[in-house]
Amino acid sequence: MSSSVAIEKIGIIGGGIGGLFLTSYIVQNWPDYPDIYLFDPRFDERGEARTSRTSGFVYQGWAGSYGIPHVDPSIVVHKIYTITFHKGSKSVEISDPLGRKICIINRNPVWMNGRLIPSIYQHIRTYISKYERIHFLPFRVNDIYFPHGQGSNGNFKILCNDYDGKKHQIDVNGVVFTTLPSKIKEILSKKIGYRPPKTWPGAVFDVYLKKEEWLPKYQTLHKFFVGGGKIHTIDLIPKRDTLTIMALGKGATMPVLYEHIDKNPDIQRCLPEHWRTRIVEGSAGTLNIPVTSAKNAVSDGIACLGGHVFGALLINGGLYTNLWAAEFLAKAIKKRGFHKKGLERLYFAKLKKILCFQNLIGKTIYMLTDSFLLPSTIISYFLFRKFVKEKELAPEKRILTRFAWDLLIGEESFSQVLIRFLRGLSI
């Protein structure tokens, strides 16, 4: 299978997970792949993209089936073996019946115990560095000239600056946007009618734990079901020396999150002492989690990828969404070039169909749990008792426990998880 149009150069705006996944899939599955230019002002001289948050978590075997290497032990700073669910004064801690673990990784390289822990970006980049014609450019994209305007020969002209302010121009046959700065978003809005997806708000920040002290209560992922108000859920995600606090909900702004955690004794008892005064610098930020699809996210020579296109799976997170999207987009470009119809049919429509269906299931599960099951004292107490009783059963009989783990770690789609759960109940 080969492209119907000769593609010699591809420009990818943004060197994060989406851009690296797309590059990796192209070079592994396209023998005569074109030159790939990744633009990101966060690249340092080694081509390392840095992000504002310092931690994240993934399932241990998260990417082996997608042609990306499994999580290397060198980038894992901690492993979570249990998940603790909280509802009011009740709590229950469960382990995965299959023995799976959640790996805590770095989004930035950090020094720990005298050695440098690589980031997830370095891990993927090292894997694809053996391939030629991949260019990591630490440039800030300022403008894009479309063909038939100021562009020429059917090429897009990417105008950018380097660290020293020197101007550069790169001509490419097609452009993929994994990030959309305000000016670029305005350009796409005018040129192709791009409209961003609707989002759900959230907030996230890291706090330091006591140095040289490892506390057992931080060996579990704490998930608080607040429900029915400004904040739906609060997650406490441990790392070796920091704790990531993440909240979702329409009122999950930073001020509301601070106030809610500060006044909630059930959450306070799970936090390190003096946590409010020891926030990791640069870690605080707002989340805008897309829950719908964008409009006009592809056109001739143009494709958007990542959170500016689709809502990630609500509970599973955006990792598998990016993997699916990168795979579909790479196949579409290889087969049909940057033709709008080919991108719409083989990439945008195909991914939209999958995500809309999966998000419908995810939203139903999420809203049913948040609005009906947990607010009911009787039902929530029954569920917690069920978790406790399942600890005495053989692993293959822990139906509810596996269902909870499957939803949170994102190893499979919502439909697969739900079908397995219903089959388990019927046996």
What sign does the dihedral 248-249-255-259 (CA atoms) show? Answer: negative
Phi, psi of 169 (to 5 degrees): -135, 125
Using one digit for the tens of pLDDT, what is the confidence trace for 62-119? 545 444 555 566 677 777 889 898 887 788 999 999 888 877 777 777 676 777 777 7
What sign does the dihedral 304-305-308-314 (CA atoms) show? Answer: positive
- What is 9-53+122-197+291-359's CATH number? 3.50.50.60
Phi, psi of 108 (to 5 degrees): -125, 150
Using one digit for the tens of pLDDT, what is the confidence trace for 9-56? 999 998 888 898 899 889 988 889 999 999 988 776 655 555 555 555
If you average pLDDT over every residue of the chain, what do you get? 79
pLDDT over 80 (residue 283): no
Average pLDDT of span 123-131: 81
Q: In angstroms, rounded to a whole number, what is the distance separating the alpha carbons of residues 402 and 398? A: 6
What confidence score (pLDDT) does residue 419 get? 92
- Tell me the CA distances in angstroms from 333 to 102, 187, 196, 214, one per residue in order: 34, 22, 22, 48
- Tell me the CA distances in angstroms from 178 to 91, 130, 303, 305, 320, one per residue in order: 39, 23, 9, 5, 15
What confidence score (pLDDT) does residue 54 get? 52
Q: In angstroms, rounded to a whole number, what is the distance separating the alpha carbons of residues 415 and 264? A: 35
Does the 82-109+200-289 domain belong in CATH 2.40.50? no
The CA radius of gyration of the chain, in Å to the nearest whole number, is 22
What confidence score (pLDDT) does residue 150 get? 43
Phi, psi of 14 (to 5 degrees): 115, 120
What confidence score (pLDDT) does residue 303 get? 94
- The answer for 103, left when phi > 0, alpha when psi is -120 to 50, beta otherwise, is beta
Q: Which amino acid is at 304?
A: C
Q: At 4, is the pLDDT very low, low, confident or very high (cuts 50, 70, 90)?
A: very low
pTM of the model: 0.82
In the chain, where the domains are located? 9-53+122-197+291-359, 82-109+200-289, 361-426
> Where is 203: in which H helix or E strand?
strand 199-208
Using one digit for the tens of pLDDT, what is the confidence trace for 256-282? 777 777 777 878 877 776 666 567 776
pLDDT over 60 (residue 216): no
Q: Please, are residues 357 and 214 in contact by the beta-carbon 8 Å criterion?
A: no
pLDDT over 70 (residue 61): no
- Higher pLDDT: 63 or 303? It is 303
pLDDT over 80 (residue 347): yes
What does DSSP say about strands 242-248 and 233-238: parallel, antiparallel, or unpaired? Answer: antiparallel
Using one digit for the tens of pLDDT, what is the confidence trace for 153-200? 578 999 999 888 899 999 999 999 998 888 889 999 999 999 988 877
